[in-house]
Amino acid sequence: MPLTPNPTVVFVSVPGHHGNIQENVHVKLIDRPIDLENEPVNGGVLLKTIALSSDPYMRYRFREKDEPMFCPPILLDDPVDNFGVGKVVRSEDPNFKPGDLVWGYFSFAEYSVYPPKHPHGLTVPLRKIDPIPGLPLSVYLGPLGLIGSTGYGAWKAFLDDKAKESKTLFVTSGAGGVGTFVIEYAKVVAPHLKIIASAGSDEKVEGLRKRGVVAFNYKTQDANEVLKKEGPIDIYWDNVGGPQLDAALLNFNNFGVIVACGCISSAADTSSVKNFEQIFKRSITVHGFIAFSGAVAPPMATFAQEVGPLVATGKISGQYEHRFSGLKEAVRALNAVHTGENNGKAVIIVDESGL
């Protein structure tokens, strides 16, 4: 049987800690043809990719293989990989059959084998998914995937009780994937909260305001001045770090809580917190976490049971996506979550017909 073209995004050189990932410099789109009938799957499955997720943490994976970090590196000359949804083409695993729709950790390629030949240390079991009528399969990369799991796990672990006694929640990157989920979930479980959110464009700010959020453009408005007017804050969900974290620290009530979810403002650079002393002056509790581990792992037992119906009924929307078309736009999608180009969850649509 003739080989089938298999465009694959491959990691070819380390970008270092400064700047964005560049196409044909740090990653390349290379055709690695595949024999769909005879490619060894070694007891696993052969997958056709439908959609892939671009997430801020991935920038930390483009590094030297021996550099310590909270997530494993991608190895040079290996495909870039992350969470994805797809369809089983061929299976040697009794748990899956051809045609099954699945969620797992996919190579940035049209076709890939699971488990991969050279895993990077990420153990994410492949699981079947059932489409929700009226919603695309990419919803499993957003509120029903890593994005929702991240927001839900940390909320249940750190904020369930705190939110009941609080008045004000501040969320940075409010139009991004996690920010969107946290805002919508807060409106369901803590509707009394006043929600303040920042975003990087007037379009995103307008979208947040339509959802009943006090929103501002952090690029054109001073976060400290906004929080002085709209605060003080009791909970800060931090997706970005940097100057907005410094502004939040100056505008906390005593005994506030920070959920340190990300620091995309310095993912490709270094920065320091100027107002760190406010943490002890105001008795602020800071919770850092990694998805699916530590204190945020136990809530995953109830994630699908609670969040699935909220998405199915529209109380949490599966429609806030920023779609990138095909693997040819993978680099743009990888950078978008750091430059602020994306408005909603960044997803790469590899097979439009499969959605």
Whole-number pLDDT of residue 266: 58
Lowest mean pLDDT among 119-133, 169-183, 203-217, 226-240: 119-133
| Last residue within a domain, chosen from 263, 296, 329 | 296
Examine the domain organization and report whether 15 and 84 are in the same domain: yes
308 near 144, Cβ under 8 Å? yes
Looking at residue 25, its amino acid is V
Structural domain harbouring 55: 7-142+318-354
Examine the domain organization and report whether 178 and 292 are in the same domain: yes
171 near 237, Cβ under 8 Å? yes
Tokens of 61: 């994976």
Whole-number pLDDT of residue 68: 87
Whole-number pLDDT of residue 48: 97
What burial class does residue 83 get, using C-beta atoms within 10 Å of its C-beta: 0-12 exposed, 13-18 middle, 19+ buried? buried
Digit-coded pLDDT (tens) for 269-322: 455 688 999 999 999 999 999 988 999 999 999 999 999 999 999 999 987 899
Whole-number pLDDT of residue 1: 65
Q: State the CATH number of the domain containing residue 85.
A: 3.90.180.10
Whole-number pLDDT of residue 224: 97
Digit-coded pLDDT (tens) for 201-239: 999 999 999 999 999 999 999 999 999 999 999 999 999
Tokens of 111: 């076709």
Specify the higher pLDDT residue, 117 or 99: 99
Cα gap 108→273, rounded to integer Å? 35
Cα gap 340→248, rounded to integer Å? 20
Examine the domain organization and report whether 136 and 151 are in the same domain: no
The pLDDT confidence band at residue 120, using thresholds 50, 70 and 90, is low
Residue with tokens 């806030």: 320
- Neighbouring residues of 88: CB distance < 8 A, sequence distance ≥ 6: 45, 46, 47, 96, 97, 98, 99, 100, 101, 102
Examine the domain organization and report whether 253 and 266 are in the same domain: yes
Report the number of distinct structural domains present in the chain.
2
Residue with tokens 């307008």: 206
Q: Give a yes or no: residue 187 inside a domain.
A: yes
Q: Give a yes or no: residue 302 inside a domain.
A: no
pLDDT, mean of residues 137-163: 96
Whole-number pLDDT of residue 158: 98
- Neighbouring residues of 243: CB distance < 8 A, sequence distance ≥ 6: 218, 223, 265
Three-state DSSP class for residue 252:
strand
Whole-number pLDDT of residue 104: 92
Residue 240 φ/ψ, nearest 5 degrees:
-130, -30
